[in-house]
Amino acid sequence: SQQGEEDPQALSIQEGENATMNCSYKTSINNLQWYRQNSGRGLVHLILIRSNEREKHSGRLRVTLDTSKKSSSLLITASRAADTASYFCATDGEETSGSRLTFGEGTQLTVNP
C-alpha cells in the first residue's frame, strides 16, 4: 500500500505567498523527510524530522510532524518563482530494512511571478 500521500496534488500560488503541503502515512516511522524534484529528475533533500520531533525549521522551510495523526506538513514562506518544483515526503519506516525510503506521489508547486 502507498505509505506517503501528499495533498494537494497540485498547488499554484503567487510569488511572496506561503505554500503548505501535507503528507500522511500509514505505519510507524523512524523519521520523515521532504525532498524537492525539478523537472522529473534528481531529488534534493530539504529537511529531515525525526519521530520524536514535532517541528523543525530550515531557512524559509518549516516542517511539522504529528505522529498521532501520522501526518506532516511542509510550509514554504515568502515563496519565489524558483521554488516551482515537485515536493515529496518520504518515510523511513521502523519495519523496513536498510532505511529504504517510501515516497508519496508528490505535490506539484507552481509559484507564479
Partner 1 sequence: GAGVSQSPSNKVTEKGKDVELRCDPISGHTALYWYRQSLGQGLEFLIYFQGNSAPDKSGLPSDRFSAERTGGSVSTLTIQRTQQEDSAVYLCASTQDRVLQYFGPGTRLTVT
Contact residues for partner 1 (CB under 8 A)?
Answer: 2, 4, 31, 33, 35, 40-45, 48, 88, 90, 92, 97-106
* Closest CB to partner 1 among residues 93, 111: 93
Instruction: Tell me the pairing of strands 5-7 and 55-58.
Output: unpaired
Residue whose entry in the numeric block shows the C-alpha cell 511572496: 16
* Closest CB to partner 1 among residues 9, 112: 9
Contact between residue 20 and residue 73 where contact means Cβ atoms under 8 Å apart: yes
* Closest CB to partner 1 among residues 39, 68: 39
Q: How far is the CB of 86 from partner 1 (least distance, A)?
A: 9
Residue type, 26: K
Q: How far apart are CA 72 and CA 24, in angstroms?
A: 6
Q: How far is the CB of 93 from partner 1 (least distance, A)?
A: 11
Q: How far is the CB of 98 from partner 1 (least distance, A)?
A: 4
* Closest CB to partner 1 among residues 43, 77: 43
Integer CA distances (angstroms), 99 to 7, 8, 93, 94, 102, in order: 24, 26, 7, 8, 9
